[in-house]
Structure 1
């Protein structure tokens, strides 16, 4: 008989029962609203009105916070997307019993290495925050957040080292982020 008290096996048992589908954690009426949001996705004002309605109806629901983040992210509204990434981080920090300030989180405070749903989503939320801060040209804040992701995810499963390279590499691969000395590599000044 295997020893179920050892750390790896005990962790595996806990993670198996974790709710991975966050949509199931939304109130049932929200699922209908989600369908309506996607039905009106190309109508920005209508879709945003519906997103704001679900936020007003269930602001403390993780699924609603994720929907709000995704809506603003795909609309390229980085300030709002960063806000909702932080709202997800706040919700998850409470459930994981982590400090409210993500800068104070250390690897010993949660099992960030086994990638169960909440810790993985916590890291993804911080990465999303870093990405949106970069899009807002808030380089220092973005890189500090990426430092924390790399500290908690030393294997780089989330791709923080590559994201850092995109943010501060010589060409700024995504063409969107921190200004470089030679940022005019795409277009000459004579245009």
Structure 2
């Protein structure tokens, strides 16, 4: 007995996504369940087609993360942070950015919000890699950069706190 889809499986990316990039990402998402090598190839093609498209970094780091390929996920997160900082005209390094936080409104654009969400992803990846100290450094910067917690980093902060070894 074959199952029929009652609706088309489609992921909603940014509404400003170029059509060709969106098509590649949609094909990659569809392939990601059964044909991971094809999905990876399509995700990378989308990124190569438009290296400035932040959604391609998001899609790739999520793809790698869900497969447990944490080093590759981290590589895409770092590339996405660099791309967003370049587009936003602010420092790439989150420590430098936090130190200069009064100069930057991290809620002003999709680019800066992408940076915050991607920084949160970096903290989570660091936790999954058992690099708690590095994760806490990212989260400390996030507390400064995202005081309204629009990125939802407080959830990762709570997880990090729960994973910290108790003081002897």
TM-score normalised according to structure 1 size? 0.69
2:150 aligns with: 157
What number of residue pairs does the alignment pair up?
151
- Mapping 1:57-136, distance limit 5 Å: 57-105=49-97, 106-112=100-106, 114=107, 116-136=109-129
Change (3 A) 1:25 1:139: same
Q: Which has the larger radius of gyration?
A: 1
Runs (4+) of structure 1 exceeding 3 A deviation are 55-60
Residues of 2 paired with 1:150 and 1:138: CA distance? 19
Change (3 A) 1:24 1:156: closer
2:31 aligns with: 40
Residues of 2 paired with 1:138 and 1:61: CA distance? 29
Cα RMSD (Å) = 2.2
Following TM superposition, by how much is the alpha carbon of 1:162 offset from its aligned partner in structure 2, in angstroms?
A: 3.3
Q: SS of the residue aligned with 2:16?
A: helix
Q: SS of the residue aligned with 1:22?
A: coil
TM-score normalised according to structure 2 size? 0.77
- Which whole-Å deviations, capped at 9, do the CAs of 1:109-133 have from their partners, x for residues lacking one? 2212x45322221111111111101
